[in-house]
């Protein structure tokens, strides 16, 4: 996909960073749509401000 000479250029580094960012985005977004039974819920205390 990418060769070493391409990854040494600025465009190559940007392409690699973009690919990693897209992979992380997909990984995080798929976790957002899991069922509530699979998700870990943390108890939160809320406070109403006057």
Give pLDDT, residue 31: 74
* Inter-residue contact 17 to 10 (CB < 8 Å): no
CA distance 35 to 42: 15
Confidence at residue 21, expressed as pLDDT on a 0 to 100 scale: 93
Q: Report pLDDT digits (tens) over 1-50.
A: 678 898 899 999 999 999 999 999 988 887 766 555 555 555 666 666 65
For 40, the token pair is 């870990």
């Amino acid at each position: 996909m990418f060769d070493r000479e391409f990854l040494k250029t600025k465009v190559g580094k940007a392409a690699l960073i973009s690919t990693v960012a897209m992979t992380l985005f997909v990984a995080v977004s798929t976790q957002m749509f899991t069922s509530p039974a699979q998700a870990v819920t943390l108890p939160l205390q809320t406070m109403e401000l006057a």
